[in-house]
Amino acid sequence: MASPSPTEKQAPIALIVEDDPDLRELGAALLEETEMRVIECEDAEKAMAVLAREGENVALVFADIRLPGLLDGVDLARRIKAVWPHVSIVVTSGYSAQRPETLPDNITYMPKPWLALDVLMQAERAAAWMQRAQGFGR
């Protein structure tokens, strides 16, 4: 596939951050049904590396709260919002149906098991927001 020309915009990115390979693959398969490019990461540090390269193109981060490494999903969400405020973030957990108190208000919480339709709706909102904010699809 040829690289887009400087005037041609690439599709926005959906970044999945999940340490369980089966759930990460399921989330990726689901989000591949949207018009977004999907990138999978097994921890927050890898996600931050992707964001460092592609941050302006990321529309959605879908992350588990419990992640291996130095940062959990809440830490990741806070850092993303501080540096890339345009990114829509959904954090998810199978350990609590309650939204974590430490999670900022502008981040969506979705307890596991999440519904495919709910994930797709979040992805569509994120892509639409990014298209309006940055002119994708023009």
How many structural domains does the chain have?
1
pLDDT category of residue 44 using cuts at 50, 70 and 90:
very high
Reported as type and span, the H/E element at residue 61 is strand 58-64
Q: What pLDDT sits at residue 105?
A: 86
Q: How many Å from the N-terminal Cα to the C-terminal Cα in the chain?
A: 20
Question: 108-118, pLDDT tens digit by residue?
Answer: 999 999 999 99
Q: What pLDDT sits at residue 137?
A: 47
Q: What pLDDT sits at residue 135?
A: 58
Q: Evaluate whether residue 99 is within a structural domain.
A: yes
Q: Evaluate whether residue 1 is within a structural domain.
A: no
CB atoms near residue 35 (< 10 Å):
14
pTM: 0.88
Which domain covers residue 37, as residue numbers?
Answer: 13-134
Residue 103, classed as helix, strand or coil, is: coil
Alpha helix (H) residue ranges in 1-138: 21-31, 44-54, 73-83, 116-134
Q: Evaluate whether residue 90 is within a structural domain.
A: yes
What CATH number does residue 75 fall under?
3.40.50.2300
Q: What pLDDT sits at residue 2?
A: 47
Q: What pLDDT sits at residue 7?
A: 40
Q: Evaluate whether residue 73 is within a structural domain.
A: yes
Q: Evaluate whether residue 62 is within a structural domain.
A: yes
| Choice among 11-25, 30-44, 121-135 with the minimum mean pLDDT | 121-135
72-84 average pLDDT score: 95
